[in-house]
């Protein structure tokens, strides 16, 4: 655990006095087959230092060659963010010494990004639309991965030595930089989360990135500053690095707003620096001072020729773009027949794509919604993960639903079946078998239980006979209790009414 | 068959094709020569005896089997130790790479292997090609075969001296500011810097990426053309590689025709600072060209006076970044200092111990020139000068088909003479640097011996980009006219090399 020593104001106190200004740098790892400047595979999770060529190790004499697919991906991202695409742009070297960077410079773009001057409309939970202006999106390469050994914390402090894996070195990255975001007020944390979610959704929708935040495919640096209400001039900002989940983005922005407010209230200036986010304590700690005068000695990369685009190429890529997420949402809501409130809940729960996949796999929109908004969301909340991260596949839901519709199991039992499947006990059918979860469909034991229930509640039985059919629920409840839920409630109802000689 | 070493590559190729000699005999003769004289010359950092003989034996077998062979198959070659080779060390003349073996071949080396040319070994150079005398090699200076107390030029003094001393009929060099042409001039050999992009740089250890170019070193103009055709042409591993075919260079050298051509004398590259004997030989060459039917015109390139200044900003800037990778982390020398060996201290100690003074000087210069606040004044201005020089060339080539100048202002100076005066050393490249800044091709060929010291003088020919053939066409004529006046090759006048004179 990281000790929290910062003074913080409550969020509401901070909001009374200050207006937050946000800014984001989101790094998106592309899912190209090969790396940005070499033919090495771009793959996650392989044996360290196996996905490397001499180029990725920065060996003497090597030269980079631009990955054309990565350039197209960059243009697609630019177009999806309503950016202008540069007719001609250059790569530049960002020079700094660090052992995860094999050449001790990162090949990036500086003065001429491939995409610039865009915007994206972010819809908040209550339907408010907030426009975020995009400054630029540029191409660059990822660094390798350092693992610090021998210390207790896994951090470089206290470590005896460090290992470096260059598999990630050279993986294509698109860095998306916003213009300063003002006017979000108390909704800043919510907007922060929604913005990163939107970027993730866009790049996933474009098919250019796997967009898995837990693998670092989408990484966010969040800039926060506060200015006293009414003041025009921005305050000093801090940059919280590598905030790598949607919740963390929201929490980190909240925390920095609270911390800045306390620092400013105490009359101390904010130190311009990077901050590290700690999920365990939901707080940030000081990183390194970062001034605008950081000297990376950028200069045009002489080993690469400029990337030159043309109208025909850009228009071809524009034509290939998938439906934008906002339009997609409109279409899906209409297709599914959800009310505005229902649909917003679905979007906010982050299960829209899951529902789409599940409907495509063969269940009704209502059934898909019941699962994703009900049982799966409930479990996700308990586990503190996103619903999509639970490992429930559309096919699983289709199978569960088929079992329910065939009367083999009921809704209540289906949760146990889901438990079994997620515990690795096999397919739903196998779990039903192994756990003995099938509903009691043999009328014999049911009739026995019904007789028992009717005998226990003779007054209710009388009411039903007298035509108050809605009273049948009490008897059904008794039967379900007696069968420990393993009965098909519909069938039980039928049998009760038969037994009492009443037309359902 | 000691005479074998005196044949040109073209003659050797013919004798091999006619089976008058075997590739093993030719290769062995050169290995024997290296054994006999390289103690005095120190042209080679590594002699590749076993592999060279093996390749030669394979060529002989293939020829005996009637296989179709490249015309230069079996003709041995030396390779500047800035170019990476599998199976042999590559040092770049630096302690920081001592003992390092490349896991890959440079593209030009692959092409030599494809042509089945036995590689005799790796030749000496100024550390990372930074110098004009080969005195900045970490492995001792190379000596000029004409006078063992004098420099062989640089940085490619090893390749030039090896060819001048008949240790190899051909060699590869690299030319960033004159490192092929100036050694050619002071050793009485031929050296060509091709059009930028004409020969792949993949596997040439970078000094200044926008200036570096690999090229041929030989004793005759035709031999350089033969080698140029082997190594030239597009390479997908080098983004700056031209897509044009290499062109009919050998044909141009064999045809050798200047009648009706306009040959421009660059006003700014003569006069003050040029040794009298150099200018005398230069003017004689002009007369010979005129006598052969060329029209001699004077052209002015007023911005050439800024070339040296611009070069000494651009070259160190790029070098400071290119040499950042030598940090002890992945390959080569690693120095672990006393006390707590943090990564910064290991990198610092490695670079302090591994780099020589000239390399450090240029890294510091370049780092400074790229620094925030200085970039525009230094690197930015230098790039503007570069554009002006390109315009000077464009204007000059309106008036002339080929330009001509002395290659170097003086003949070979004495070892140690300019070692303590970097500026005097840099001035040696005043005539060769403009071609690198503009990317145009240049050829240096022997122009005779200076009267005052009896040492070789070089004549430089320059052509527009992609017109390398013109250099061979004019160079071959001038060479034959000059040899007619000397009664044979200039190198026939070189003194015998005695082992005692130098000694290692």
Rounded mean pLDDT, A55-75: 98
* Residue A146 host element (H or E): strand A145-149
Tens of pLDDT, residue by residue over A399-438, are 989 888 887 888 888 888 888 888 888 888 888 888 877 7
Backbone angles phi, psi at A242, to 5 degrees: 50, 60
Whether the predicted pLDDT of B12 surpasses 80: yes
CA A181 to chain centre: 21
Cα–Cα separations (whole angstroms), residue A475 to A408, A456, A503, B278:
21, 9, 16, 118
Which pLDDT does position A386 carry in this prediction?
Answer: 84
Whether the predicted pLDDT of B400 surpasses 80: yes
- Residue A38: closest CA among chain B residues belongs to which residue? B237
What angle in degrees, to the nearest 10, is found between the helix axes of A472-482 and A443-456? 120
Residues of A with Cβ-Cβ distance to B324 under 8 angstroms: 95, 97, 103-105
Read off the pLDDT band of A489 (50, 70, 90): confident
Burial of B162 by CB count in 10 Å (0-12 exposed, 13-18 middle, 19+ buried)?
buried
Whether the predicted pLDDT of A396 surpasses 50: yes
Tens of pLDDT, residue by residue over A200-258, are 999 999 999 999 998 999 999 999 999 999 999 999 999 999 898 999 999 999 999 99
Burial of A97 by CB count in 10 Å (0-12 exposed, 13-18 middle, 19+ buried)?
middle
Read off the pLDDT band of A446 (50, 70, 90): confident
Cβ–Cβ below 8 Å for A54 and B103 = yes
Whether the predicted pLDDT of B502 surpasses 60: no
By Cβ distance, the residue of A63, A105, A293 closest to B201 is: A63
By Cβ distance, the residue of B97, B370, B372 closest to A60 is: B97
Whether the predicted pLDDT of A463 surpasses 90: no
Which pLDDT does position A292 carry in this prediction?
Answer: 59
Chain B: nearest CA to A58, how far in angstroms?
7
- Residue A377: both structure tokens together: 């969301």
**Residues contacting A492, CB < 8 A, separation 6+:** A446, A450, A476, A479, A480
Q: Give catalytic residue positions of B.
A: 80, 155, 179
Tell me which residue of A237, A232, A273, A271 sits closest to A253, measured CA to CA: A237
Read off the pLDDT band of B128 (50, 70, 90): very high
What angle in degrees, to the nearest 10, is found between the helix axes of A472-482 and A489-500? 120
Rounded mean pLDDT, A31-43: 97
Whether the predicted pLDDT of B132 surpasses 80: yes
**Using CA atoms, how far apart are residues B243 and B101, in angstroms rounded to an integer?**
30
Pairing relation of β-strands B295-299 and B402-406? unpaired
**Using CA atoms, how far apart are residues B428 and B189, in angstroms rounded to an integer?**
17
Which pLDDT does position A4 carry in this prediction?
Answer: 53
**Using CA atoms, how far apart are residues A17 and B430, in angstroms rounded to an integer?**
66
Chain A: nearest CA to B324, how far in angstroms?
6
Name the B residues in 78-117 with CB < 8 Å from any A CB. Answer: 83-84, 90, 92, 97, 100, 102-104, 106
Q: A213-217, A478-482, B10-14, B212-216: lowest mean pLDDT where?
A: A478-482
- Residue A47: both structure tokens together: 């044996």
Cβ–Cβ below 8 Å for A299 and B237 = no
Cβ–Cβ below 8 Å for B240 and A303 = yes
Cα–Cα separations (whole angstroms), residue A149 to A97, A146, B236, B335, B344:
20, 10, 40, 21, 17
Provide the β-strand partners of residue A123.
Answer: A129
Provide the β-strand partners of residue A133.
Answer: A119
**Using CA atoms, how far apart are residues A310 and B397, in angstroms rounded to an integer?**
32
Q: A318-327, A410-419, B397-406: lowest mean pLDDT where?
A: A410-419
Cβ–Cβ below 8 Å for B240 and A305 = yes
Whether the predicted pLDDT of B1 surpasses 70: no
Mutate one of B343, B363, B379 to test the A interface: name it (highest A CB count within 10 A).
B343
Tens of pLDDT, residue by residue over A260-297, are 999 999 999 999 999 999 988 999 999 877 765 579 99
Locus of tokens 């990135």: A209
**Using CA atoms, how far apart are residues B53 and B46, in angstroms rounded to an integer?**
15
**Using CA atoms, how far apart are residues A355 and B418, in angstroms rounded to an integer?**
78
Pairing relation of β-strands A307-308 and A88-89? antiparallel
pLDDT, greater one: A444 or A266:
A266
Residue B380 sits at the chain A interface (C-beta within 8 Å): no
By Cβ distance, the residue of B210, B321, B375 closest to A93 is: B321
**Using CA atoms, how far apart are residues A432 and B236, in angstroms rounded to an integer?**
59
Rounded mean pLDDT, B197-215: 98
Pairing relation of β-strands A129-141 and A145-149? unpaired
Helix (H, G, I), strand (E, B) or coil at B418: coil
Tens of pLDDT, residue by residue over B284-320, are 999 999 999 999 999 999 999 999 999 999 999 999 9
By Cβ distance, the residue of A58, A63, A297 closest to B238 is: A63
**Using CA atoms, how far apart are residues B109 and B117, in angstroms rounded to an integer?**
10
Which pLDDT does position A2 carry in this prediction?
Answer: 45
Name the B residues in 297-326 with CB < 8 Å from any A CB. Answer: 317-318, 320-321, 324-325
Do residues A373 and A349 make contact, with C-beta atoms less than 8 angstroms apart? yes
Whether the predicted pLDDT of A504 surpasses 80: no
Q: Which long-range contacts (CB under 8 A, 24 or more apart) does B287-291 make?
A: B288/B478, B288/B481, B288/B482, B288/B485, B289/B258, B289/B263, B289/B404, B289/B474, B289/B477, B289/B478, B289/B481, B291/B481
Whether the predicted pLDDT of A461 surpasses 90: no
Tens of pLDDT, residue by residue over B66-123, are 999 999 999 999 999 999 999 999 999 999 999 899 999 999 999 999 999 999 999 9
Q: What is the DSSP string of A78-121?
A: HHHTT-EE-SEE--EEEE---TTSTTSEEEE--SS-SEEEEEEE
Rounded mean pLDDT, B383-401: 98
**Using CA atoms, how far apart are residues A157 and A153, in angstroms rounded to an integer?**
8
Cβ–Cβ below 8 Å for A299 and B370 = yes
Which pLDDT does position A440 carry in this prediction?
Answer: 66
Cα–Cα separations (whole angstroms), residue A426 to A414, A419, B250, B335:
14, 11, 73, 57
Residues of A with Cβ-Cβ distance to B206 under 8 angstroms: 61, 303
Do residues B73 and B59 make contact, with C-beta atoms less than 8 angstroms apart? yes
- Residue A159: closest CA among chain B residues belongs to which residue? B342
Q: Which long-range contacts (CB under 8 A, 24 or more apart) does A398-404 make?
A: A398/A358, A398/A361, A398/A362, A398/A363, A399/A427, A399/A428, A399/A429, A400/A371, A400/A428, A401/A363, A401/A367, A401/A371, A403/A428, A403/A429, A403/A432
Rounded mean pLDDT, B274-291: 97
Instruction: Please give the mean pLDDT across all residues of chain A.
Output: 91
Rounded mean pLDDT, A383-396: 87
**Using CA atoms, how far apart are residues B242 and B235, in angstroms rounded to an integer?**
8
Tens of pLDDT, residue by residue over A130-162, are 999 999 999 999 999 999 988 777 777 778 889
Read off the pLDDT band of B501 (50, 70, 90): very low
Read off the pLDDT band of B340 (50, 70, 90): confident
Cβ–Cβ below 8 Å for A61 and B205 = yes
Rounded mean pLDDT, A178-183: 97
**Using CA atoms, how far apart are residues B56 and B116, in angstroms rounded to an integer?**
8
Whether the predicted pLDDT of B500 surpasses 70: no
**Using CA atoms, how far apart are residues B209 and A93, in angstroms rounded to an integer?**
12
Read off the pLDDT band of A89 (50, 70, 90): very high
Instruction: Please give the mean pLDDT across all residues of chain B.
Output: 96
> What residue spans of B188-239 are helical by DSSP H?
221-231
Chain A: nearest CA to B205, how far in angstroms?
4
- Residue A66: closest CA among chain B residues belongs to which residue? B239
Helix (H, G, I), strand (E, B) or coil at A462: helix
Rounded mean pLDDT, A60-70: 98
Rounded mean pLDDT, B483-495: 97
Tell me which residue of A254, A317, A255 sits closest to A283, measured CA to CA: A255
**Using CA atoms, how far apart are residues B158 and B151, in angstroms rounded to an integer?**
10
**Using CA atoms, how far apart are residues B305 and B266, in angstroms rounded to an integer?**
12
Whether the predicted pLDDT of A483 surpasses 90: no
Whether the predicted pLDDT of A3 surpasses 70: no
B257: left (phi over 0), alpha (psi -120 to 50) or beta: beta
Which pLDDT does position A432 carry in this prediction?
Answer: 84
**Using CA atoms, how far apart are residues A283 and A265, in angstroms rounded to an integer?**
19
Chain A: nearest CA to B304, how far in angstroms?
22
Residues of A with Cβ-Cβ distance to B203 under 8 angstroms: 61-62
Cβ–Cβ below 8 Å for B206 and A61 = yes
Do residues B314 and B439 make contact, with C-beta atoms less than 8 angstroms apart? no
Backbone angles phi, psi at A29, to 5 degrees: -80, 125
Read off the pLDDT band of B503 (50, 70, 90): very low
Do residues B173 and B80 make contact, with C-beta atoms less than 8 angstroms apart? yes
Whether the predicted pLDDT of A120 surpasses 50: yes
**Using CA atoms, how far apart are residues B27 and B105, in angstroms rounded to an integer?**
21
Cβ–Cβ below 8 Å for A61 and B202 = yes
Helix (H, G, I), strand (E, B) or coil at A47: coil
Mutate one of A36, A63, A90 to test the B interface: name it (highest B CB count within 10 A).
A63
Whether the predicted pLDDT of B439 surpasses 80: yes
Tell me which residue of B262, B283, B247 sits closest to B447, measured CA to CA: B283
Whether the predicted pLDDT of A444 surpasses 50: yes
**Using CA atoms, how far apart are residues B383 and B310, in angstroms rounded to an integer?**
7
Residues of A with Cβ-Cβ distance to B363 under 8 angstroms: none
**Using CA atoms, how far apart are residues B479 and A256, in angstroms rounded to an integer?**
76
**Residues contacting A430, CB < 8 A, separation 6+:** none
């Amino acid at each position: 655990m990281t000790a929290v020593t910062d003074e913080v104001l409550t969020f509401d106190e901070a909001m009374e006095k200050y207006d937050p200004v946000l800014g984001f740098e989101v790094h998106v790892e592309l899912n190209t087959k090969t790396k940005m400047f070499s033919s090495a595979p771009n793959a996650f999770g392989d044996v360290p230092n196996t996905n490397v060529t001499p180029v990725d190790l920065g060996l003497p004499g090597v030269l980079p060659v631009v990955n054309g697919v990565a350039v197209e991906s960059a243009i697609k991202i630019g177009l999806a963010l309503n950016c202008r695409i540069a007719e001609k742009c250059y790569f530049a070297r960002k020079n700094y010494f660090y052992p995860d960077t094999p050449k001790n410079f990162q090949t990036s773009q500086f003065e001429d990004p491939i995409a610039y001057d865009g915007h994206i409309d972010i819809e908040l939970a209550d339907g408010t639309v907030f426009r975020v202006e995009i400054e630029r999106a540029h191409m660059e390469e990822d660094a390798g991965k350092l693992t610090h050994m021998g210390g207790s914390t896994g951090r470089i402090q206290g470590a005896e030595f460090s290992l470096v894996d260059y598999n990630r070195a050279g993986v294509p990255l698109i860095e998306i930089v916003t213009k300063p975001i003002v006017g979000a007020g108390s909704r800043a944390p919510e907007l922060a989360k929604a913005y990163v979610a939107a970027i993730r959704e866009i790049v996933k929708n474009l098919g250019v990135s796997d967009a898995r935040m837990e693998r670092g495919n989408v990484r966010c640096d969040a800039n926060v500053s506060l200015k006293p209400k009414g003041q025009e001039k921005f305050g000093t900002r801090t940059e919280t690095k590598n905030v790598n989940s949607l919740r963390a983005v929201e929490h980190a922005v909240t925390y920095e707003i609270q911390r800045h407010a306390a620092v400013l209230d105490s009359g101390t200036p904010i130190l311009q620096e990077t901050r590290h986010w700690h999920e365990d304590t939901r707080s940030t700690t000081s990183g390194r001072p970062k001034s605008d005068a950081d000297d990376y000695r950028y200069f045009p990369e002489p080993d690469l020729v400029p990337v030159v685009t043309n109208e025909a190429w850009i228009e071809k890529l524009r034509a290939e773009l998938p439906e934008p997420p906002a339009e997609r949402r409109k279409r899906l809501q209409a297709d599914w027949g959800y009310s505005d409130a229902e649909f917003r809940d679905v979007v906010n729960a982050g299960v829209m794509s899951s529902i789409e996949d599940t409907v495509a796999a063969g269940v009704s929109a209502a059934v898909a919604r019941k699962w994703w908004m009900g049982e799966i969301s409930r479990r996700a909340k308990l586990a503190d993960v996103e619903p999509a991260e639970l490992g429930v596949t559309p096919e699983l839901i289709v199978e569960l639903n088929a079992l329910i519709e065939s009367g083999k199991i009921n809704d209540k039992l289906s949760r146990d079946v889901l438990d079994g499947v997620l515990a690795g006990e096999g397919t739903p059918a196998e779990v039903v078998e192994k756990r003995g979860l099938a509903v009691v469909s043999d009328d014999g034991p049911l009739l026995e239980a019904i007789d028992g229930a009717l005998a226990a509640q003779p007054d209710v039985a009388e009411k039903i006979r007298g035509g108050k059919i809605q009273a049948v629920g009490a008897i059904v409840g008794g039967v379900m209790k007696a069968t420990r839920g393993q009965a098909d409630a519909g069938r039980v109802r039928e049998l009760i009414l038969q037994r009492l000689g009443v037309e359902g | 068959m000691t005479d074998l070493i005196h044949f040109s590559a073209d003659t050797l190729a013919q004798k091999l094709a006619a089976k008058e000699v075997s590739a093993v005999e030719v290769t062995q003769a050169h290995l024997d020569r290296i054994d006999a004289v390289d103690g005095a010359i120190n042209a080679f950092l590594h002699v590749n005896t076993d592999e060279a003989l093996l390749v030669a034996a394979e060529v002989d077998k293939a020829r005996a089997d009637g296989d179709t062979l490249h015309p230069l198959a079996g003709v041995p070659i030396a390779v500047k130790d800035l170019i990476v080779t599998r199976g042999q060390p590559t040092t770049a003349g630096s302690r920081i790479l001592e003992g390092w073996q490349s896991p890959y071949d440079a593209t030009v080396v692959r092409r030599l292997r494809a042509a089945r040319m036995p590689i005799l070994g790796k030749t000496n150079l100024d550390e990372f090609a930074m110098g004009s005398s080969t005195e900045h090699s970490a492995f001792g200076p190379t000596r000029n075969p004409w006078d063992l107390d004098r420099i062989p030029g640089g940085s490619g003094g090893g390749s030039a001296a090896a060819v001048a001393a008949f240790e190899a009929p051909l060699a590869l060099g690299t030319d960033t500011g004159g490192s092929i042409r100036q050694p050619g001039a002071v050793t009485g050999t031929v050296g060509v810097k091709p059009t930028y992009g004409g020969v792949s740089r993949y596997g040439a250890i970078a000094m200044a990426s926008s200036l570096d170019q690999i090229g041929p070193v030989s004793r005759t103009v035709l031999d350089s053309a033969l080698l140029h055709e082997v190594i030239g042409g597009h390479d997908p591993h080098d983004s700056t590689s031209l897509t044009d075919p290499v062109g009919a260079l050998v044909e141009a050298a064999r045809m050798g025709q200047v009648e009706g051509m306009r040959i421009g004398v660059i006003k700014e590259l003569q006069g003050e600072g040029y040794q009298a004997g150099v200018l005398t030989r230069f003017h004689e060459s002009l007369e010979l060209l005129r006598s052969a039917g060329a029209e001699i015109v004077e052209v002015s390139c007023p911005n050439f006076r800024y070339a040296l200044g611009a070069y000494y900003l651009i070259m160190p800037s790029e070098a400071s970044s290119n040499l950042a990778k030598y940090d002890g982390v992945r390959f080569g020398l690693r120095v672990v200092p006393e006390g707590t060996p943090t990564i910064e201290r290991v990198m610092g100690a490695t670079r302090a111990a591994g780099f020589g003074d000239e390399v450090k000087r240029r890294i510091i210069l370049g780092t400074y020139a790229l620094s925030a606040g200085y970039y525009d004044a230094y690197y930015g201005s230098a790039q503007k000068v570069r554009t002006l020089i390109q315009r000077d060339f464009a204007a000059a080539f309106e008036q002339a088909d080929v330009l001509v100048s002395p290659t170097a202002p003086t003949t070979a100076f004495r070892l140690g003479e300019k070692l303590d005066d970097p500026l005097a050393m840099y001035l040696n490249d005043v005539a060769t640097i403009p071609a690198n800044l503009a990317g145009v091709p240049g050829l240096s060929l022997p122009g005779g011996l200076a009267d005052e010291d009896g040492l070789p003088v070089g004549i430089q020919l320059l052509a527009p980009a992609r017109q390398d053939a013109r250099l061979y066409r004019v160079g071959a004529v001038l060479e034959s006219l000059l040899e007619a006046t000397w009664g044979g090759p200039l190198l026939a006048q070189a003194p015998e090399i005695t082992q005692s004179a130098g000694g290692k």
